[in-house]
Structure 1
């Protein structure tokens, strides 16, 4: 029914991989694995707080953060994707370069900031070491939809002539990946190992300084 679109937000995971020969474990999604090299187990979760029965109308509260459930410290990168599904017809979230559903990011996510690096490859790289049991600050506060247009502070594109969006379901996907950090207490050449592993797996070179990470 027009104007009764349901808000659907999914968590997207994929298979876990084992990096042989480096004593590092690589994890993506929520799938545990058995590490035959006896390295630390990698596990993580995407923590979200929102009403799953929310309609895509007005401003919908939605909190998202990322937690390291592993027994070791890790590098983190996050990606997201979004679509509108109108009876099987997938619609882009942008019209004339403007978002239809406006995401209210927190913690500098979605751009270069003190905590996040836009890798230019669809991934956002966390600039801190994520310690065991630690989670990031929330990266999303809410999403605002143009049905009805009640928030004067948000400049919506002109979509009044399109009924497809008003009758569609909005889908926002998050994906996270963790890469184990080599500790200098266990590995003499930890700096080299971290740079080589991050370059090989993430395609970006991570340089560690204390708890901070520089991505190149």
Structure 2
């Protein structure tokens, strides 16, 4: 089972100068002394079968649609939560883009330098595997109702490019995908291979080595 979750983490404007199972049981009785006496008993039983759910969300601390000065450091804390009822394998991706005053997408690089410096955390460096395919794979099985550590804390805009981008808007977007974790290793490998296209190994304490 796979979950895709997408969340737009705000737009920054720069300042301008059960499955329910119904079981029906029918019992038919009985013949005594050559006289057939038929008795019919119908019992309707409703069983609420709760199947595990797979769902994730991006959790952020950020003032959406904020307007900031080029010299400000913008607080933007990001982490990921397993909101389902089953433990999951997790991967995330992010994209950023600028739009000018006419709504045209423009590059966020000037002479190979990024206009926005993203302050990634130590957890982002240690707990995530860069798959080289645009996705970052969480190196742990994420239990239900638990969150990863913060991966991002803030953004800083390079004031050297203020004049070029002063009328533009900046957007940072994260996407997360999850696959349900099972106690059956063969099931896990088939599911992850089918959805993520990668191989892995789960070692002690549900730590994952991605290949």
TM bracket (short chain)? 0.7 to 0.9
Write the mapping of 1:1-216 to structure 2, written as runs, cut at 5 A.
25-29=1-5, 39-56=51-68, 57=70, 58-86=72-100, 87-109=102-124, 113-146=125-158, 149=159, 159=161, 163=164, 165-183=165-183, 190-209=184-203, 210-216=205-211
* Higher mean displacement: 74-83 or 91-100: 91-100
- Greater helix proportion: 2
The superposition leaves residues 15-53 of structure 1 with CA deviations (integer Å, 9 ceiling, x where unpaired) of: xxxxxxxxxx111117xxx77997411122111111124
C-alpha separation in 1, matches of 2:103 and 2:66: 21
1:99-127 Cα offsets, whole Å, 9 max, x none, are 10111011342xxx431000101110000
Unaligned runs of 5+ in 1: 1-24, 150-157, 184-189
8 Å contact 1:44–1:67 — kept in the other structure? yes
Q: CA offsets, 1:48-77, max 9 Å, x none?
A: 111124224321001011000111110010
Aligned residues: 168
Q: TM-score, normalised by structure 2?
A: 0.73
**Alpha-carbon distance in structure 2 between the residues aligned to 1:173 and 1:194:** 28
Q: Which has the higher strand share?
A: 2
Give the root-mean-square deviation of aligned CA atoms.
Answer: 2.1
Look up the SS of the partner of 1:159 in the other structure: helix
Cα distance in 1 for partners of 2:133, 2:84 equals: 26
TM-score by length of 1: 0.71
Q: Which has the larger radius of gyration?
A: 2
Query: How far apart are the structure 1 equivalents of 2:176 and 2:19?
Result: 20
The gaps in structure 2 that reach 5 residues or longer are 7-17, 21-48
CA distance 1:192–1:43, shift in 2 (3 Å):
same
Asked if the contact 2:123–2:149 (Cα under 8 Å) also holds between the matched residues in 1, the reply is no
Contact 2:123–2:150 (Cα < 8 Å) also in 1 = no
Distance in 2 of aligned mates of 1:53 and 1:175: 19
